[in-house]
Amino acid sequence: MDSFRDGFRPETYGDRIADVYDAMTADLPDPGDCADRLAELAGPGPALELGIGTGRVALPLAARGEAIPVTFGDFANVPVEPAEGGYPLVYVVFNTFFALLTQEDQVRCFAGVAGRLAPGGAFVLTGFVPDPTLYTGGQSVRASHLGLEQVRLDAARHDPVTQRVDFQHVLVTGDGIRLYPGAVRYAWPSELDLMARLAGLRLRDRWGGWRREPFDAASGLHVSVYEHAGVAAS
Ligand SMILES: C[S@@+](CC[C@H](N)C(=O)[O-])C[C@H]1O[C@@H](n2cnc3c(N)ncnc32)[C@H](O)[C@@H]1O
């Protein structure tokens, strides 16, 4: 019996956090750099975002002239019709890919993307580089924001076997305490590359940030660009 896992559903995170998501992510780097890079890769489009959320990235991209279809569904299945000729750009950013909580769902997602990606198109996936040292005794508590009127604590539980982290963003204000639960199944870049290979994709580029920073041992996140390998992996 695990009250967190028993109650947590794919929609739980988005349902609970939607109202405050944009304020909570306001400290993230300007999504403009991200939109610039994505617009270059999309060309005339259309682009397909998986896990679009509040449109934090999609709206700046749309402002650059991209058409972005919106479909409700589980993005493990990539439940959209293939665009004619395929999408020149499919993207999933800001750790959203890790919201698929099993390796099986993540592999299925890669396959679905490969089936919708245009020849020569780009599948862009960004995520954090896992760091199990963040967890002591399988848990962590971190003050991620400290203001005069509020504090945000991130409490997490880590399972290194399934590579899963269950977490609560705990927002404490004078009005009370709000809980925003979430969960990720993280994967190292090397595992993502293998998933890509299973789907007939290969890594074209990997940067340490949206300005094409080099990716190296000090990088905390990666921007990975996959493309069709040309021949199906055997
Ligand atoms: C961390 S937010 C990121 C949103 C957006 N990509 C961004 O960068 O701001 C993750 C989003 O993925 C959605 N999500 C999580 N699992 C999903 C699933 N299996 N199918 C569709 N959407 C999902 C959540 O509801 C949430 O909107």
pTM of the model as a whole? 0.95
117, with CB counted inside 10 A (0-12, 13-18, 19+), is: buried
Domain 132-184 has CATH 2.20.25.570: yes
Residue 115 is encoded by which pair of tokens? 């089936």
Looking at residue 160, its pLDDT comes to 97
Q: From ligand 1's centre to the CA of 50, what distance in Å?
A: 7
Please list the residue range(s) of the chain that carry CATH number 2.20.25.570.
132-184
Please list the residue range(s) of the chain that carry CATH number 3.40.50.150.
31-130+187-228
Nearest CA, atom 14, ligand 1: 51
Which of 12, 92, 96, 124 to mutate for ligand 1's pocket (most ligand atoms within 8 Å of CB)?
96
Looking up tokens 């604590």 gives: 153
Nearest CA, atom 27, ligand 1: 53
Pocket of ligand 1 (CB under 6 A): 10, 13-14, 51-53, 56-57, 74-76, 93-94, 96, 99-100
Integer angstrom CA distances of residue 46 from 40, 82, 140, 196, 217: 12, 11, 41, 22, 34
What are the mean pLDDT values of the chain's consecutive 10-residue runs (234 residues total)? 91 92 84 92 92 92 83 91 88 97 98 96 98 97 95 97 98 96 98 98 97 97 96 45
Classified by CATH at the fold level, domain 31-130+187-228 comes out as Rossmann fold (3.40.50)
Looking at residue 204, its pLDDT comes to 97
